[in-house]
Amino acid sequence: MPITVTGFQNVAAFQFSLTWESGLLALQPTPIENLNSALSVGSSFLYNPIAGPGSGMLVWSWINASQSGARVIDGTAIFDVQFIASSTLGLANVTFGDIPTGRLWELAGGTYADGTPGHEFAPFTWNNGSINVTPVPEPVNCALGLFACLFIGSATVRWVSNRRVALRSA
C-alpha cells in the first residue's frame, strides 16, 4: 500500500501511527519498501511494528538530519507498506492515528516559541485508505481447469473428426 503525499515541500520531520484490523492484514517481515529518495538523503527514519507484526499497528518517524526541507512531487509515494492478507475476507481499513505516536508535520526554517531557530508545525490533512481482501484462485486449480478445457476441447474435436470420417465412409 503506497503512502502518498501532496504539498510535501520544505518538510523537515513528520511522524504518525498507522493502524489496521490485524484479523485481516499482517505486516510482511520487511514492511517498508520503496523509500522515496527525498527521504533517504541526510535523513533518519524509524518504523516499529508495535507488539509484533500481527498487532495491527506501525509507528513511523522521520527527520531530515541536515535541517533542510525535503520536497516530494504531489501524488508521489514516500514509501510502501507491505501487508500479507489473512484467510479472512473483507475490507480492511488502514488509518492514520495518534496512538502511541501523535501525528506531527514540521517545516524547516521556523522558530521555536523562545525565538531560537527551529521547525514550524504545519497544518495537515490525513486521508485514510483501505484494502479489500478478496479470494484468489489457487494456481493449481487454474492449471487443472485449463488442462480440463484443453482435454475436453481436443476430445470434442476428435469426436467431430471421427464422425465426419464415418459419414464419408458410409
Q: Where are the beta strands (DSSP E) in 52-143?
A: 57-64, 76-85, 90-97, 104-111, 117-121, 129-133
Q: What is the pTM of this model?
A: 0.69
51 band by pLDDT with thresholds 50, 70 and 90: low
For residue 145, pLDDT over 70 is answered with no
DSSP summary character for residue 149: H
C-alpha neighbours within 13 Å on the C-beta side of residue 97: 13
Peptide bond into 117 cis (omega under 30): no
| Domain ranges (residues) in the chain | 2-133, 137-170
Question: Where does 2-133 sit in CATH, by number?
Answer: 2.60.40.680
For residue 156, pLDDT over 70 is answered with no
Cα 17 to Cα 53: distance, rounded to the nearest angstrom: 14
**pLDDT (average), residues 11-30:** 87
Of 61-70, 119-128, 154-163, give the lowest mean pLDDT range. 154-163
160 band by pLDDT with thresholds 50, 70 and 90: very low
